[in-house]
Amino acid sequence: MQTHALISIYQGLLRQHGRQHWWPADSPFEVMIGAILVQNTAWSNVECAIENLKTANLMTPWAILDCNIQVLTAALKPSGYFNIKAQRLMSYCRWYTEQGQWSVLREYPTKQLRNALLSVKGIGPETADDILLYAFERPVFVIDAYTRRFFSRLQLIEGTESYDKLRERFENALYKEVTLFNEYHALIVRHSKDICARNPHCVSCILGADCPSEQSVRGNCSEINI
DNA sequence: ACCCAGGGTCATA
DNA sequence: TATGACCATGGG
């Protein structure tokens, strides 16, 4: 993976979209909840569910563990997969409180914390990395569907590589800085939703001046020079 | 009416 | 290891 290409793409995204200030949440625990609820789901739906949780006073792991599963399920309805996600929140909160919650977990080395997260049923590699990066502020590079599509259109990856292989490639090519990884992933998501989401041929729109968004929406984006 | 969204698990081959 | 079915709502 070429470091220079990744940096210039990042700079292009940042210039076009500005800082994203992720993750949109009031607390690290809310980040964790959001990371589980957003699995294969539009964020706008997750926002509704999080509002429901706040209204029902269910934004602490203890409140969730104590509540009726049907109450939890009802609150999660707008985010889809509500039966599964209610169970995933429960099992996550059980793990989280039994491990000693924030004050204990924050002391774990990143690798150990990642393995611990992956041991929870319902937490896969991407959700674990969302939590590591945006709640625990560890320098891990999140790989999601947008990231695969974006970089495979730029022909910098094949796209079918394993999750961990891709993650290591990006992490090895960049300075392991939390703020860089935070903004980079947020910018890829923002960019993908904003401009390229429904256009299979839009590979770029990265250098805003070369590829105005209106043009890209019509499918006429020019190839980017990295 | 379709398609997709900031995935993960489980059953099969 | 690698596909496929399943989970379910809301917006384009």
Output the pLDDT for position A205: 52
Q: Cis bond leading into A22, ω under 30°?
A: no
Minimum-distance nucleotide, CA of A79 to C1': C9
Count other Cβ atoms within 10 Å, centred on residue A140: 25
- In Å, what is the CA distance from A2 to each residue of A74, A156, A172, A173? 47, 8, 10, 7
C-alpha to C-alpha distance for A13 and A151, rounded to whole angstroms: 13
Minimum-distance nucleotide, CA of A85 to C1': C7
Residue keyed to tokens 């094949």? A158
Q: Is the CB of A73 under 7 A from strand C?
A: no
Indicate whether A71 pLDDT > 80: yes
- Residue A15 CA and nucleotide C12 C1' are separated, in Å, by 27
**Predicted TM-score of the model (pTM):** 0.91
Q: Is A225 exposed, middle or buried (0-12, 13-18, 19+ CB in 10 A)?
A: exposed
Q: Is the CB of A45 under 7 A from strand C?
A: yes
Output the pLDDT for position A154: 87
The better pLDDT of the pair A223, A185 is held by A185
Output the pLDDT for position A196: 53
Output the pLDDT for position A153: 85
Q: How confident is the model at residue A225 (pLDDT cuts 50, 70, 90)?
A: very low
As a dihedral over the C-alpha atoms of residue A169, residue A172, residue A174, residue A180, rounded to 10 degrees, the angle is: 80
Mean pLDDT, chain A, integer: 89
- In Å, what is the CA distance from A148 to each residue of A157, A166, A185? 8, 9, 11
Range A73-90 average pLDDT: 98
- The SS3 call for residue A89 is helix
pLDDT, one tens digit per residue, over A150-167 is 999 888 999 999 999 999
C6 nearest neighbour residue (CA to C1'): A81
- Residue A125 CA and nucleotide B6 C1' are separated, in Å, by 13
Output the pLDDT for position A43: 98
